[in-house]
Every structure is written in structure tokens, then in C-alpha cells.
Amino acid sequence: RKFLISWVGEDWVFLILLGILTALLSWGMDFCVGLCLQAQMWMYGGPDRNVFLQYLVWVTYPVVLIIFSAGFTQILAPHAVGSGIPEMKTILRGVVLKEYLTFKTFVAKVVSLTFTLGSRMPLGKESPFVHIASLCGAMISKFMSLFGGIEENESRSIEMLAAASAVGVSCCFASPIGGVLFSIEVTATFFAVRNYWRGFFAATISAFIYRMLAVWNGDEETLTALYKTHFRLDFPSDLQELPAFAVLGIASGFIGALFVYLNRLIVKFIRNQKVINRFLMKKRLLYPVLVTLLISTLTFPPGFGQFMAGKFTAEESLFTLLDNRTWGKQGIPEDYDYIGHSNPWLHPQVNVFVTLVLFIVMKFWMSALAITMPVPCGAFMPVFLLGAAFGRLVGEGMAAWFPDGINTNGTIYPIVPGTYAVVGAAALSGAATHTVSPAVIVFELTGQMSHMLPVMIAVILANAVAQSLQPSLYDSLIRIKKLPYLPELGWGKYNIRVEDIMVRDVRYITLNCCYRDLHNVLLTGHLKTLALVESTESMILLGSIERAQLQALLSLQLSRSRRLEFIRERAVGEKRRLSVASDTGSKDGGRLSWAQRHVLLAKSKIRKEVLKVPGVFVWQITEWEEQKLDEQVNFSNCKIDPAPIQLVERTSLHKTHTLFSLLGLDHAYVTSIGRLIGVVSLKEVTISRPFLKCVPPPPKKKPRLPKRERGARCVLRSPPAV
């Protein structure tokens, strides 16, 4: 039996369960989303010739779904709103975020995301599914803990969450390699190589089950790529096309940075407008309704949507953009077939270039606006689709520039615009997220690696441009949500020392302090750990003590059992005194009977062990507490960390940033020849203003006891008694 329990608690069992469960969820969600989209098209096609009724159906359907998604999330689990990758990035760093990995959040995320994707809004599934896979991993961990498993060890639990993040991407794109690499890039600063096999193992199982379900359902004949392409393999691209790919990558870098900036600008605008913000806080469903109404109106197929392929879903649009055929010659589509699947891109009154430009411009701001709605949603797929459209535009331009193809050694090779769409999709999504793994994802998505070098060149150039202009999309969301995550160190910060940013007013306790000092320290702050020094004069750092340990010491000193013992002793002393008084005054029977009744009352209360004592004991208990608080603290039974993380005052900010990122620190003490002189916390390292000088904390408006002062950990002043 013990062998069976230990066998069930193994890592590979956890990873298999995780891969199977997430694959089932991903396929089931795709199936339900497909039903929602089919229902919309069925209702839209009902009133065939009544444009007003068609518009009413086209607009009302997504509004109803978004209202349900936003309302269901707000009622059940507000933490399920948004992408989930910024929160997972913070959790994997070691920060505990309450309610983000609960069953309620899981239900809200899955149900609301399904209805959000079924509304035809320009939103993605991949980013929120990373959160869903992590929720699955957390729930499986709780189940596995019954067999002596994962949840008991915090470090091991975080490792399994890292594997779950990889599964979330792989079961959406059926790309195990790209999913693992993407999860590492977007959730980790430093990655332990020992977790590599876990991510690939679970991601491979998830991708395999996901595609097997598609074959079982009849969607595919066999295991194949999600967006299969048929580019030529003998001569994929000419050297003369490399400058075009490079320009495509550089332009994608600018567009990706602009997308991140626009998204942050929209959020800041809504927050800074106090009247609008206050109104939307009262009417929480009004904002998503207005956004959905606006986007649905502009994508209405008989209206403006006919000039931007508004009838297509994101999946259909991506599939057509990767087509090998050239849609127009010199921008004129009249000579081409309208019956094919690229029909919505070809309008009799507008050429292909105008359609693609309108699609890119409209989807650009629509996607940036839509991801600000309070619903579970992602931005990777909209940006990926934008990149494919931009690449297709460049490809069609190259085909128009070289209508007869490119002559190489006497052989003419025609331009294939679909290859530019592949390069653009990888470049723009990589620029927005500051990752290189989208290059691998497009290889697995299309099932072809013929354009490996053009894709890699474009992705690297796009990353170089985007990283110099804006933070990544997920880092931008972390800043907007003010999550406790350590961003990358900016330029010009390498010559700064830790003494320039440390907090010198450190909270500490001494080795010879009394319980009253301990009581004052615990009352005036909420720090997790406190520094232990030898004395106030020497300030030699001896170690650090957790707040829970200090609370236990104080509780033991003033414990209930000691109070009851004191009450018993006082009651026994009172009994003896009254007995002596009864012997000397036996002639006065009335007084003796009163004393006996008083002793019996005291005995009954002690026997019940109730702290409600007679009034004669109240001042004595207060005096006893004061005596106990004045005693010296005995640290012999307290767990002291004798070697907390220490930095010297001349440590560079670059080394400090590396240590905080690598070890997941939230604070470190600064010493000089063993003497405690300051503390630096995560707040000082992540502060948004320049590090060029130590800026003092702003003064408090009211002289109340602060919950947390300027250093997120050990910043409060030491108590006067110490």
C-alpha cells in the first residue's frame, strides 16, 4: 500500500494527468466556441434580405455573451479577469497571490473565456489558457498531496506550475517545443534546467491528446499541423528577398511597441478620468457592452466590415492569410477567382491592398481596446493575426513589384505572399511579447521549416527594436496592475551602489530586549521578518527572526495557561488568608459566612477555567502582565536564521538585481564590517523613478501608525525601549 501511494505521488503521474486534463479542456472549449460561432452565423443568415435584422443579430449576440462573461466573472471570481500570465509570472517568482489558484477562479476562467471567444471579439485564448493550465496544476497538486505529493513542498509546487504554464500554450497551438520555450520566456527570468524535461513531457502529452481528439471528432484525418501550409521546399526564398524580410522585422518591432503603448494609454486614460472611472465602477457591465457594440458595428459584413473581411473569424482569417496564392496583381483582383476561400479579402470596388490596410488599422486599435474589457482574454492571438496580415501586405507588395518573380541563375521563382505572412506573424507577436519562441511556434503551426532563417532574422530584429522602445505586453500589464515583480534593469543603472537606494531607518530587535519591546514592535508594523542585532550600540547583525516566531514567544509569555496558573495561586492565597481570618473572627458568624461564600465562588470559577475573575483580581492580572512584559526575552526556543541574505554597502545595483531575481528575494540586509546599516527591499529595486539618488519617503499626511513604510520589509523605526 505504501508503494502504491508513493507511486501515485510521482512527478510523471502528475504530468500525465496535467497533460490529459488540459488537452480535454482545450478541445472542449474549442468545440463550444465553434458551436457559439455557428449559432451566430445561423441566426445572422436567418433574415436573409433584412439588413436591419441582420445588424441586430450581429450586434446583440456578442453583447449578450460578453455581458454574461463579465457578469459571471465579477460575481464568482474577479481574479479570473484578463490574461493571467502577469499573475503567473509573479507567482512563479515566489509571491503568494490569494484567490488566483482556487477552484472558483478555475470555473470562472473556463466558462467566461468560452463565451468571450464565442462572441467573435478580437481576443485570444492562449494567454488565459496558461492561467487555466496552472489552475489545473494547482488542483492536481492538492489531490496529489494526499499521497505525500507536491503541495507539501513549496519549491516543488512552483516547479510543477512552471510545467503547467508550458502545457497551456502547447495544447492551444499543438506546439510542444514552442509552448515550452514561450512559457519560459514570458514567466521566468532564470530557469532551472532540471524542470526542462517536465515541461516537454507534459507539453508533448497535451499536444498529442489535443490533436488526437481532433482526429476522433473527424476534424482531421491524421495528426497534422494546425494551420498546414504548402510552401515550396526546393527554393523557399531568394537572397534578394532577405532585405524585405529584414524590413518586415524592423517594422514589426515598431508596430509591436506601438500596440503595447496604445493598450497602456487606454488603461491610463480611463483611470485618470475620475468622472468616467467613478461611473464605470458603478456600472461595471457598461464598458464591455459599449466596446462590444462598437467593434461589432464596425465589423458588420454588409457595412464597413465588407472592406476588412469582417465576416471571418480569427481562425479563418489566419488560415486564408497563409495561403500560397497571390490575391492580386498590381492590386487589381478582377482576374482572380472569387469562389475560393479568400473571397472576403477581394472586393469588387476595393483592391487587396486597401482591404489589408483597413484590416490592419482597424484590428490594431480594436484589439488594444478589447483586451481592456473585464473578461478573461488574451492578446497573443490578435497580435499574431495582425502580424500575419501585415506580412501578407508586404508579400502582396513584393508580388506586385516583381510580377514575373525573381530571376535567379536563369530560373524565375514567383513571390509567395503566404511566406511573408508567416514571417510577419512570428515577428509581430515576438515584438509585442519580447520573445523569440513565436518563431518555433509558427514552424509547428504550419508544419514547415522552409523559411527558418527569414523568420529568425525578422523575429530578432523585431525584438531588438521593440525592447528599446517599450516593455513587453506582460511587463506592461504587471506595471498597470502594480504586481510585486522585478522588471529588467534599465540602461544607465549599472554604476549605482546599493547604498544609494537602501533604507537606513531599519527596524530591529536586540538580543537583550524585553517582551514589552517585542510587543511594541509587533504592534507598530506588519513586517514578515525582523533583524536581530547584538545591541543598540554595536549593531552587529546576528540573524533574522520571522514575525510568527516572535508572536509565538509573546503568546507563550502571556499565555492562557499561565494566566490560569496565576489565578489559581491568587485564589489559593486568598483562601488561606480568609481561613486565617475565619479562625480569628469565628465569633462573627455573618462575616464568616460571607467569606465562605466568596471562597466557594472563586473555587467554582477556577474549576471552570474561565478567565472572568472577580473584580478583586483585575488589577492584579494587569500588574502580572506588566511584570511579565518587563522580563528579558529568551530566544533559546526561537528559530533564528543565523545567515540572512546580506549585502555590503558598495554592492552594485546590477549584482543586487541579479540576486533578487535568481533567489526570489523580497529583502536583503546591508552591513558594513558586520554592522547593520540598512535594508534594501523589492520596492527599492523595482521603484519606477530613476535610481540616481536615494529619494526619501514622502511625509505622511496623518501621524497614524503606518502599516508599511518606505522599504517593503524592514523599514520602520526601532522602538524607543530598544
* 294-309 residue pLDDT tens: 999 999 988 888 888 8
**Position 547 in a domain:** no
The upper half-sphere exposure of residue 650, i.e. CA atoms within 13 Å in the direction of its Cβ, equals 2
Residue with cell 473565456: 113
What's residue 689's pLDDT? 39
What's residue 251's pLDDT? 95
Reported as a pLDDT band with limits 50, 70 and 90, residue 595 is very low
Mean pLDDT, residues 34-53: 87
How many whole angstroms separate alpha carbon 459 and alpha carbon 442?
11
Domain containing residue 426: CATH number: 1.10.3080.10
| Lowest mean pLDDT across 25-39, 73-87, 220-234, 356-370 | 220-234
What's residue 552's pLDDT? 81
- Helix ranges (H only) for 352-492 are 352-370, 380-401, 417-433, 438-446, 452-469, 473-481
Q: pLDDT over 70 for what percent of the chain?
A: 80
How many whole angstroms separate alpha carbon 653 and alpha carbon 495?
7
What's residue 527's pLDDT? 76
What's residue 722's pLDDT? 27
* 253-282 residue pLDDT tens: 999 999 999 999 999 888 888 888 888 888
What's residue 583's pLDDT? 53
Residues 342 and 455 in one domain: yes
- Domain edge (last residue) among 451, 481, 511: 481
How many whole angstroms separate alpha carbon 236 and alpha carbon 215?
30
**Position 366 in a domain:** yes
Mean pLDDT, residues 129-153: 77
Phi/psi region, residue 582 (left: phi>0; alpha: psi -120 to 50; beta: rest), is alpha
Phi/psi region, residue 240 (left: phi>0; alpha: psi -120 to 50; beta: rest), is alpha
What's residue 7's pLDDT? 52
What's residue 197's pLDDT? 86
230 vs 491, more confident: 230
Start-to-end CA distance of the chain, whole Å, equals 56
343 vs 129, more confident: 129
Mean pLDDT, residues 137-149: 76
How many whole angstroms separate alpha carbon 515 and alpha carbon 675?
24
What's residue 358's pLDDT? 92
255 vs 519, more confident: 255
Q: Is the pLDDT at 716 greater than 70, yes or no?
A: no
What's residue 51's pLDDT? 87
Residues 445 and 476 in one domain: yes
**Position 300 in a domain:** yes
605 vs 27, more confident: 27
Reported as a pLDDT band with limits 50, 70 and 90, residue 649 is confident
How many whole angstroms separate alpha carbon 169 and alpha carbon 437?
11
What's residue 612's pLDDT? 47
How many whole angstroms separate alpha carbon 139 and alpha carbon 151?
10
Mean pLDDT, residues 389-418: 84
**Position 319 in a domain:** yes
Reported as a pLDDT band with limits 50, 70 and 90, residue 688 is very low
**Position 712 in a domain:** no
Mean pLDDT, residues 688-692: 38
Q: Give DSSP secondary structure letters for 208-235.
A: HHHHHHHHHTTS-SSS--TT-----SSS
What's residue 473's pLDDT? 92
Residues 365, 418, 428, CA angle at the centre, nearest 5°? 35
Residues 180 and 260 in one domain: no
* 697-709 residue pLDDT tens: 444 444 443 333 3
User: What Cα–Cα distance (Å) separates residue 390 from each residue in 252, 350, 621?
Assistant: 8, 18, 79
What's residue 368's pLDDT? 93
- Domain edge (last residue) among 449, 481, 513: 481
What's residue 145's pLDDT? 72
Residues 210 and 316 in one domain: no
Rg from Cα positions in the chain: 33
Mean pLDDT, residues 148-164: 69
Q: Is the pLDDT at 720 greater than 50, yes or no?
A: no
Average pLDDT, the chain: 79
Phi, psi of 407 (to 5 degrees): -85, 120
Residues 184 and 276 in one domain: no
What's residue 606's pLDDT? 42
The three-class DSSP label of residue 400 is helix
Residues 182 and 294 in one domain: no
263 vs 683, more confident: 263
| Lowest mean pLDDT across 384-393, 499-508, 604-613, 629-638 | 604-613
Three cell numbers, residue 87: 499573475
Reported as a pLDDT band with limits 50, 70 and 90, residue 431 is very high
Q: Is the pLDDT at 651 greater than 90, yes or no?
A: no
Reported as a pLDDT band with limits 50, 70 and 90, residue 152 is low
Q: Which range of residues forms the domain containing residue 462?
A: 239-481
Residues 262 and 207 in one domain: no
Reported as a pLDDT band with limits 50, 70 and 90, residue 132 is very high
Residues 198 and 245 in one domain: no
Three cell numbers, residue 103: 477552484
Residues 602 and 453 in one domain: no
What's residue 708's pLDDT? 35
Three cell numbers, residue 267: 488603461
Residues 604, 605, 606, CA angle at the centre, nearest 5°? 95
**Position 644 in a domain:** no
Reported as a pLDDT band with limits 50, 70 and 90, residue 392 is very high
**Position 720 in a domain:** no
Residues 425 and 341 in one domain: yes
- Domain edge (last residue) among 453, 481, 509: 481
What's residue 364's pLDDT? 94
What's residue 696's pLDDT? 40
How many whole angstroms separate alpha carbon 149 and alpha carbon 566?
45
Residues 172 and 275 in one domain: no
| Lowest mean pLDDT across 163-167, 388-392, 618-622, 684-688 | 684-688
Phi, psi of 510 (to 5 degrees): -100, 165
The upper half-sphere exposure of residue 7, i.e. CA atoms within 13 Å in the direction of its Cβ, equals 4
Quote the number of domains for the chain: 3
What is the number of other CB atoms lying within 10 angstroms of the CB of residue 134? 31
Residues 32 and 99 in one domain: yes
**Position 486 in a domain:** no
Q: Is the pLDDT at 718 greater than 60, yes or no?
A: no
